[in-house]
Amino acid sequence: MDHDERLLRIGLFSRLAAISVRMLRYYQEQHVLEPAAVDPFTGHRSYAPSQLTDAHWITRLRDADMPVSEIAEIMANRGDPQRVRAIMSAHGDRLAAEQERLGRVSAAFERINAYLKESTMDINVRQMHMPAMTVAALRRVLSSYNDEGQLWQEVVPLMERSGLVLPEHDEGLGGTTYLDPEYRDSDVDVEVWIRVPTPFTPVAPLECREVPARDVVVATLHGSYDGMPEATAAIGGYIAAHNLRTGPMFNIYRVGPAHNPDPSTWVTDACFPIIEE
């Protein structure tokens, strides 16, 4: 027989609960679901039919990727709805964060696929002389490079409060300088700037700076910023081949999101100023 005095042997219970015998033994070890009886001589485990309801809840929580320790805590606190809701809420927050992370990973994967389908870009690396200019600049340490947009949202209102008339697209020149000497994963020192025709009195934290004339190594990227690694790889080869010393990288946005939302139209100059020996 598969049952013994109103109890179910572990094999039948396993079938009815849709939980393997191996996992039932593991759940016993973790105090998630313990047998109603264990034969002291044979070690055979038996379960009460009422435990099938518990088993079905456990499988639902397991399928929702709930950690075993928290499944055990829920099963032990079923008489405390507030505690159960708190555990479920915390797990829901983790799932939401994981879903957001997977969305970013999936988007990055799709960008790789799109990149592999495209022909290799012809990156023209060259030296260029940039004349001196006056800029309106806003500098801050940000959580990550992805937060650069925060500075752009602030710089234009600050310029307007400083009495500046924003230049037309054909006349304006704007960019971002990355002031850390190396790439950083967090706490990044970033400055956004826009060229202006004359010096002005800025409203803090906006600054008015004179940028001297300088020679720079430039690679022009046509299209979305996904192609930036190819541009910087080409620049790295050029800098090494010509034995140059360079300063902080900056980008010039000839055409960017503020001009056209279509990434295929974007034109970016990736630049490294040359430091004279």
φ/ψ bin of 260: left (φ > 0), alpha (ψ from -120 to 50), beta (otherwise): beta
| Domain 3-76 identical in fold to domain 125-275 | no
CA distance 156 to 162: 10
Structure tokens at 6: 């109103």
32 pLDDT more than 60: yes
pLDDT for the residue 167: 65
In which band, very low, low, confident or very high, does the pLDDT at 37 lie, cut at 50, 70 and 90?
Answer: very high
Mean pLDDT, rounded, for 152-175:
83
How do residues 60-93 score in pLDDT, each as one tens digit?
999 999 999 999 999 999 889 999 999 999 999 9
Mean pLDDT, rounded, for 221-233:
87
How do residues 192-205 score in pLDDT, each as one tens digit?
999 999 999 999 99
pLDDT for the residue 120: 53
pLDDT averaged over the chain?
A: 90
According to DSSP H, which parts of 77-170 are helical? 81-117, 148-161
User: What is the dotted CATH code of the domain comprising 125-275?
Assistant: 3.20.80.10
pLDDT for the residue 225: 87
pLDDT for the residue 2: 44
3 pLDDT more than 80: no
Angle CA 175–177–180, to nearest 5: 165
For the chain, the straight-line distance linking the first and the last C-alpha, in angstroms and rounded, comes to 91
pLDDT for the residue 116: 63
According to DSSP H, which parts of the chain are helical? 10-17, 21-29, 51-63, 68-76, 81-117, 148-161, 228-241
User: What is the dotted CATH code of the domain comprising 3-76?
Assistant: 1.10.1660.10
Q: pTM higher than 0.85 for the full model?
A: no
DSSP H or E segment with residue 125: strand 125-130
pLDDT for the residue 97: 93
pLDDT for the residue 264: 87
What residue spans define the domains of the chain? 3-76, 125-275
